[in-house]
């Protein structure tokens, strides 16, 4: 029975490269020179540190641009609140990885409501869709590409 998996993944190597490029741009920009502004990457969390909040907004824009150029969808970035004190401002950006339970249920509901001849099941952080015909699976992929889900979706492990 043909099947494929719906996932939402981030290439950690590309994310590391994007953060490195953003740090390199900060060191070259005149308005950030000797300001102590820096990006720190830990697991899937990017921490921005700067002297004030307007610099943080500029840093977020730079990071958004670098992430998009490296092929990572910007919609997976979740911006946390800015933390300020007298010395510096900090912000965390969480890179959402994987499909959580709510998003998976939404995908399964979309598939079932479409009345297609495919079945969808949740398997951890991915949704497996199976059907009798390859064309039905391709229709399901087209439906999910048009759907508004809060995460970028990739389709992998397509099997006959």
Residue 134 vs residues 51, 130, 142: alpha-carbon distances, Å: 55, 9, 13
Q: In this structure, are 82 and 27 located in the same domain?
A: yes
Task: Give 101-123 pLDDT, tens digit per residue.
Answer: 888 889 899 988 888 888 888 98
Label residue 91 by pLDDT band (50, 70, 90).
very high
CB 114 within 8 A of CB 82: no
Give the distance from CA 48 to its chain's centroid: 17
Per-residue pLDDT at 45 exceeds 90: yes
CB 90 within 8 A of CB 49: yes
Q: In this structure, are 27 and 45 located in the same domain?
A: yes
Task: Give 110-159 pLDDT, tens digit per residue.
Answer: 988 888 888 888 988 889 999 888 888 888 889 888 888 888 888 888 88
**pLDDT at residue 49, rounded to an integer:** 93
Per-residue pLDDT at 80 exceeds 90: yes
Q: In this structure, are 81 and 148 located in the same domain?
A: no
Q: In this structure, are 89 and 43 located in the same domain?
A: yes
Q: In this structure, are 90 and 106 located in the same domain?
A: no
Cα–Cα dist 97/34, whole Å: 34
| CA proximity to 3, closest of 109, 130, 148, 90 | 130
> Would you call 129 exposed, middle or buried from its count of C-beta atoms within 10 A (0-12, 13-18, 19+)?
buried
Number of folded domains that form the chain: 2
Task: Give 51-60 pLDDT, tens digit per residue.
Answer: 988 899 999 9
More confidently predicted of 22 and 158: 22
More confidently predicted of 124 and 93: 93
Q: In this structure, are 154 and 129 located in the same domain?
A: yes
**pLDDT at residue 124, rounded to an integer:** 84
Residue 78: give the domain boundaries: 12-95
Residue 88, by phi and psi: left (phi above 0), alpha (psi -120 to 50) or beta? beta
Q: In this structure, are 114 and 59 located in the same domain?
A: no
> Which of 79, 95, 111 is the last residue in one of the domains?
95
**pLDDT at residue 47, rounded to an integer:** 94
Q: In this structure, are 84 and 154 located in the same domain?
A: no
Mean pLDDT of the chain: 89
Q: In this structure, are 29 and 89 located in the same domain?
A: yes
Structure tokens at 97: 């990885």
């Amino acid at each position: 029975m043909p099947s494929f998996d719906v996932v939402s993944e981030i290439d950690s190597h590309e994310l590391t490269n994007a953060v490195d490029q953003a740090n390199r741009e900060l060191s070259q920009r005149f308005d950030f020179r000797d300001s102590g502004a820096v990006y720190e990457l830990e697991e899937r969390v990017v921490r921005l540190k700067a002297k004030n909040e307007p610099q943080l907004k500029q840093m977020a824009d730079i990071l958004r641009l670098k992430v998009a150029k490296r092929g990572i969808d910007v919609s997976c970035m979740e911006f946390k609140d800015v933390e300020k004190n007298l010395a510096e401002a900090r912000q965390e950006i969480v890179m959402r990885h994987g499909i959580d339970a709510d998003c998976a249920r939404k995908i399964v509901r979309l598939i079932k409501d479409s009345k297609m001849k495919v079945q969808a099941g949740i398997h951890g952080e991915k949704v497996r869709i199976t059907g009798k015909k390859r064309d039905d699976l391709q229709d399901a992929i087209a439906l999910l590409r048009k759907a508004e889900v809060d995460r970028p979706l990739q389709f992998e492990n397509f099997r006959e």
